[in-house]
Amino acid sequence: MKVINLKTGDIKPYWRNPRNNDAAVEAVKASIERYGFNSPLVLDADNVIIAGHTRYRALVEMGAKEIPCVVMADLSPEKVKEYRIADNKTSEFATWYMDSLIPELREVGSFEDMQVFFGSVELRDLMSEATVVSHPTQAQIDQKQSATENRFTESVAQVQGQYVDVICPHCGEGFFVDKSEINRTPGQDTQ
């Protein structure tokens, strides 16, 4: 992945961006001001935004002259549309582990500064409703870390188990094939 800086005026928002990001712009600006800009925009071959409309708006409002970008010139127009939708939709599946979030917020110090990132959720109420959690021991941290790593490893293994690494006997190029496709008769429905 190659990150390049493009002039703000050379970047084009997608004219039919399906995501309304108005309410997120202030939070993104606050994040950039506090922690810097750490996630480049993703553009198509014509410098049209695939992913990053909110970051783009925040940076423009902050007076940025150039923005770090990744250009995905090899994506077809259909894949660009798919990626644009998928990038916006996948964040909706994430949820908070409250038993992990509350201690993190408590350790921030002035968690009121984090309110901008939580919208209508009142952090003060959230913190007062939460049970008091003692500081974890190193053994508890190690156990939680191990469980998280195991969950990730199992998930990756499950996905990887669906595919077979195949090498073309003619050109020597390697690629992955879904196991369900190996014994399928041409024209047979995969569902």
Q: What tens digit of pLDDT does each residue of 74-109 get?
A: 999 999 999 999 998 888 888 888 878 877 887 877
pLDDT at position 161 over 80 = no
pLDDT at position 4 over 90 = yes
pLDDT attached to residue 152: 67
Tell me which of 10-14, 18-22, 46-50 is least confident.
18-22
Residue pointed to by tokens 């190029």: 173
Q: Which domains does the chain have, with CATH numbers?
A: 3-93 (3.90.1530.10), 98-159 (no CATH)
pLDDT attached to residue 99: 78
- Provide the strand spans (E) within the chain: 3-7, 41-43, 49-51, 66-71, 163-167, 174-178
pLDDT attached to residue 101: 82
pLDDT attached to residue 7: 97
Average pLDDT for 161-183: 68
Give residue 176's identity as a one-letter amino acid code.
F
Q: Which pTM does this prediction carry?
A: 0.64
Q: What tens digit of pLDDT does each residue of 108-148 get?
A: 777 777 888 887 777 777 777 665 556 677 787 778 777 77
Helix 53-61 to helix 25-35 angle (10° resolution) is 70
pLDDT at position 171 over 80 = no
